[in-house]
Structure formats: structure tokens, C-alpha cells
């Protein structure tokens, strides 16, 4: 039975429905005697609170607790730190930057780091030097953030330059301009710059589709590290397959990559299945036979991978509990490269170029770019409604921080590409503060 709701009653109904779904999900987890990722820190807090012996045991084993990226902690993990370090007696060494807190959707609360810094029993060391970006980029990053932080570029970083590229038309036209104009100009100014030292960053993975299509149309090598990538960047199994493919394409002749390294990484990957030296030796010989027979760069990657998986890998993955998620990545990739999939025509040579170490332009969302650095950064689709989001997006302050994170990935050049009729207010503020017309 459907009921018509007014504007005011619909948000209330939606909140109640969400709450009911969460409660049903939690109830089903308990029936299955399972926990999820969100349960883990909550159960840890409970265990530490209810068992003082556990606190003492942890203190005896770990006298110092080191926490990186403290601004990404949520309430439960923060309570664990507070309990261990300010009640149990463990020493704390924490590193964080409130200005790089961009994961509010996962429960991150940057104000917890601020509260920690305000304690009288905490010594705070503020780092002011930026060792990555040129001085102009560092100065402009404060405008991007909208707050003064007194950051300075370290000596030797150079000056750096910010470019603005207002565009008309759809994102497909904007992307074409990137590859026909911006990238050639970047390469002309820095002929020694590698493709892998250039990143194109955008607010959402669907926007990256236009960029990827333009890169392919203009014959630029690229690697996607967003949600629409061929597989997650952190997949150990798929990255190992990339190396195997590179060896089959040309590595067997050039020695790059070396088979010894591939075999060593394989033994580490499948260590749960290869428990003895004899099993490891058998794996080495079987891997060499399997790859030697598959030295054909033009073969379908689906055919190559499916046969290699059946002959050698499937049993090893099945015997390795830690690789259960990796198996899902492999299955999804095989489906995409199978007949009817969106990558069915991919060859082994094309697959071997998917790794980030293969001198390809990096296509990434702003979120996925955190913690990385590039010679030149192209910030794409910097439009009002995208940064910040128009509907159901994060708070404006977090959108500012996301913009700031993208801005400060660059060493020497930052390029702003945006719609001329709807630029992001953050772009306009940087322009105004730089007196750029």
C-alpha cells in the first residue's frame, strides 16, 4: 500500500525507514553470529572498557601507540586511544592534518584531533614546510582552503604555476581539450616529465568516463584508480597478474620484469598454500611453464587469464583464506573481459600496461588522490554543483578540504578545468586572490 507524503513528512519517513533497515541488518548479523567492519572498533572499545587485564596486557606489549592520519578517526577509535593513552598509561605519537579530513562519509571526525591538540598534557609540533609543491602553489592552496595556515614551500621546490581553463560544452568537449591542448603544452614545458607524473583529478568516477574516452581517442596511455577502474588499485592478485602479463609480452626477452621477482612475489602472495620449500619449488617450475607457453602479446587477456587461472592459480587462491576478496576481483575482471563485456577486446599487451608503474597518466577521483604527488595536476570538472556538491553532498567545509587536497598534489603545475558558465566558487576565490582575469 502506497501513501502520499508531503514535503515535510517525507524526510521523517526516510529517516525512520533507514533506521528500520539498519536495525534489521544488525539483527540478521547477530543471528548469523557475524560482525561487520563498523562493529570492530565498537567491540574493541567494549572489550577494553570491561577488561582491565586487557589494558595492562596491551601496555606491557606496546608502550607506545603511533597513530597516523588521526583526522580520519571516528568516535570509537578515538575512545580507544583516549583510554589506552590517558588512562592506561601508554604513550601516544599521533600525526594528522585537519585540513586533509575528507572522509566524513565514513565517520571521520577531524574535530577529535583538534580536541587532542588542546589538551594540556599533549605537546603539539606544528609542521609548516611543504616539501612537495612550488611556492606559488603553496600560497594559492591557502586560498583554496579559505583559511590562512602560514604554510611555506621548502627550499628547492621551485615556484610552480596555476592555470585556469574555462570551457564551454559538455565534459566530453572539456576532456578533448585536455588531451589536445593542455597535455601537449605541459609536455612541451617539461620534456623530461613522464606520463605517470601527470594526474587528472575529478569529483566523481562517472566524470572520469569522459576523460578516459578522450585519452583513448587521443592515444594517451592511462590508468584509472577510481571506482570505475578495471579492478581496485590495492588488489595484490591483479597487480601480480599485471607483472606476469608484462613478462609474457616482452619481459622474457628484456628481463623487465625479471621472472625471479615474479616468482618471489607469487610465493609471498600464495604463502598459505605453499607451506614447504618443495611446494614453492614446484610452484616456480609450474609458473615458468605456464607463462612460457603464453608469450603472445596479441592474445585475448580473457583467454590468457582464464587458462592460467584454471591451470595454476585457482587451486592456490582456494587454499588461501586471505585471498577470498582477491578472488572476487579476479572473477569480476574475467566477466568484464569475456564475450559481451565492456573490455572483451582487451589484449594481453593492453592489460600489461594497466599497472601504475607503466608510465601512464593517472585518472583518479579527488578522494583517491589523497597521499599522492605528481609533477602536474589537472583538476577536471571544477564546477559549482560538483565541488561543492549541489545535493546531498558533504558539508561545504569538507568540500573545501577536498579541493585543497587535490590542489596540493602538484609539484610544479596545477590546471583548473571548469565550465565557463558555472565555475566552482572555490575556483573563483583562488582566481580573485591571485588577481587572475
In terms of Cα–Cα distance, which of 199, 193, 189 is closest to 222?
199
* Residue 276 CB-density burial (10 A; 0-12 exposed, 13-18 middle, 19+ buried): exposed
pLDDT in the model for residue 63: 96
* Cis preceding linkage at 375, omega within 30: no
CA-to-CA distance for 381 and 434, rounded, in angstroms? 20
Residue for grid cell 559481451: 340
pLDDT tens-digit profile of 273-328?
Answer: 999 999 999 999 999 999 999 999 999 999 999 999 999 999 999 899 888 889 88
Distance CA 200, CA 224 (A): 10
**What average pLDDT score do residues 180-200 get?**
95
Q: How many residues does the chain have?
A: 437
Q: Residue 149: its pLDDT value, please?
A: 83
Residue 26's contacts (CB-CB under 8 Å, 6 or more residues apart) are none
What percent of the chain shows pLDDT beyond 90? 69
243 band by pLDDT with thresholds 50, 70 and 90: very high
pLDDT score of 355 more than 70: no
The CA distance from 380 to 416, in Å, is 6
Task: Encode pLDDT of 202-221 as tens digits.
Answer: 999 999 999 999 998 999 98
Those residues whose C-beta lies under 8 Å from the C-beta of residue 60, and which sit 6 or more positions away, are none
Q: Retrieve residue 195's grid coordinates.
A: 606520463
Confidence (pLDDT) at 115: 95
Average pLDDT of the segment spanning 188-194: 94
Residues 6+ apart with CB under 8 A from 146: 400, 426, 429
Instruction: Report, as an integer, the average pLDDT of 406-417.
Output: 95
Highest mean pLDDT among 86-90, 139-143, 389-393: 86-90
DSSP designation for 247: I
List of domains in the chain: 35-117 (3.40.50.300), 135-229+356-434 (3.40.50.300), 236-352 (no CATH)
CA distance between the termini of the chain:
58
Specify the pLDDT at position 61: 95
Question: Would you say residue 3 has pLDDT above 60?
Answer: no
Q: Supply angle C-alpha 171, 364, 112, rounded to 5.
A: 120
Reported as a single tens digit per residue, the pLDDT across 361-404 is 999 999 999 989 999 999 999 999 999 987 666 788 899 999 99
**pLDDT of 49 higher than 80:** yes
Average pLDDT over residues 226-234: 81
Mean pLDDT taken over the chain: 90
Q: Are 394 and 142 in contact (CB under 8 A)?
A: no
In this predicted model, what pLDDT tens digit does every residue of 97-129 receive, in sequence order? 999 999 988 889 999 999 999 999 999 999 988
The pLDDT assigned to 1 comes to 41
What pLDDT shows up at residue 7?
Answer: 54
pLDDT at 231 over 70: yes
* Model confidence, pTM: 0.79
Q: Which residues, in sequence order, are bridge partners of residue 224?
A: 363
Q: Which of 65-69, 210-214, 224-228, 288-292 has the lowest mean pLDDT?
A: 224-228
pLDDT at 8 over 60: no
Specify whether the backbone of 372 is left (phi greater than 0), alpha (psi in -120 to 50) or beta.
Answer: beta
Q: What is the pLDDT of residue 2?
A: 47
Grid cell at residue 220? 594517451
The mean pLDDT of 37-63, rounded to a whole number, is 92
Q: Nearest 10 degrees: CA dihedral of 205, 208, 212, 213?
A: 110
Q: What is the largest CA-CA distance in the chain?
A: 71
Selected residue with higher pLDDT from 50 and 156: 50
Amino acid at each position: 500500500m502506497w501513501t502520499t507524503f508531503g514535503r515535510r513528512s517525507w524526510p521523517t519517513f526516510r529517516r525512520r525507514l533507514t533506521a528500520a533497515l539498519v536495525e534489521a541488518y544488525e539483527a540478521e548479523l547477530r543471528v548469523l553470529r557475524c560482525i561487520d567492519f563498523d562493529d570492530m572498533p565498537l567491540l574493541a572499545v567494549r572489550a577494553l572498557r570491561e577488561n582491565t587485564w586487557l589494558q595492562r596486557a596491551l601496555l606491557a606489549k606496546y608502550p607506545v601507540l603511533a597513530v597516523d592520519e588521526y583526522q580520519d578517526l571516528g568516535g570509537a577509535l578515538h575512545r580507544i586511544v583516549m583510554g589506552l593513552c590517558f588512562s592506561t598509561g601508554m604513550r601516544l605519537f599521533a600525526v594528522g592534518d585537519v585540513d586533509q579530513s575528507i572522509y566524513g562519509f565514513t565517520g571521520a571526525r577531524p574535530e577529535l584531533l583538534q580536541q587532542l591538540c588542546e589538551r594540556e598534557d599533549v605537546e603539539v609540533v606544528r609542521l609548516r614546510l611543504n616539501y612537495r609543491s612550488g611556492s606559488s602553489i603553496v600560497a594559492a592552496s591557502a586560498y583554496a582552503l579559505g583559511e590562512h595556515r602560514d604554510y611555506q614551500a621548502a627550499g628547492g621546490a621551485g615556484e610552480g604555476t596555476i592555470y585556469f581553463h574555462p570551457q564551454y560544452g559538455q565534459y566530453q568537449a572539456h576532456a578533448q581539450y585536455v588531451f589536445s591542448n593542455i597535455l601537449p603544452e605541459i609536455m612541451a614545458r617539461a620534456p623530461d616529465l613522464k606520463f605517470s607524473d601527470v594526474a587528472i583529478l575529478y569529483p566523481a568516477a562517472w566524470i572520469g568516463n569522459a576523460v578516459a574516452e578522450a585519452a583513448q581517442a587521443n592515444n594517451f596511455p592511462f590508468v584509472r584508480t577510481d571506482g570505475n577502474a578495471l579492478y581496485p588499485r590495492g588488489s595484490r592478485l591483479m597487480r601480480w597478474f599485471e607483472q606476469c602479463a608484462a613478462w609474457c609480452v616482452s619481459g622474457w626477452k628484456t628481463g623487465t620484469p625479471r621472472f625471479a621477482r615474479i616468482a618471489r612475489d607469487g610465493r609471498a602472495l600464495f604463502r598459505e598454500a605453499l607451506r614447504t620449500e618443495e611446494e614453492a619449488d614446484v610452484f616456480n617450475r609450474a609458473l615458468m611453464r605456464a607463462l612460457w607457453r603464453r608469450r603472445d602479446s596479441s592474445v585475448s587477456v580473457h583467454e590468457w587469464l582464464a587458462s592460467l587461472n584454471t591451470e595454476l592459480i585457482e587451486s592456490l587462491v582456494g587454499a588461501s583464506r586471505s585471498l577470498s576478496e582477491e578472488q572476487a576481483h579476479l572473477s569480476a575482471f574475467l566477466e568484464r573481459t569475456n564475450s559481451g563485456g565492456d573490455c572483451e577486446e582487451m589484449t594481453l599487451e593492453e592489460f600489461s600496461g594497466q599497472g601504475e608503474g607503466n608510465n601512464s597518466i593517472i585518472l583518479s577521483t579527488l578522494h583517491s588522490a589523497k597521499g599522492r604527488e605528481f609533477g602536474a595536476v589537472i583538476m577536471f570538472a571544477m564546477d559549482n554543483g560538483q565541488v561543492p556538491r549541489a545535493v546531498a553532498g558533504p558539508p561545504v567545509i569538507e568540500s573545501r578540504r577536498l579541493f585543497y587536497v587535490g590542489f596540493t598534489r602538484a609539484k610544479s603545475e596545477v590546471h583548473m578545468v571548469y565550465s565557463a558558465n558555472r565555475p566552482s566558487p572555490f575556483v573563483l576565490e583562488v582566481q580573485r586572490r591571485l588577481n587572475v582575469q
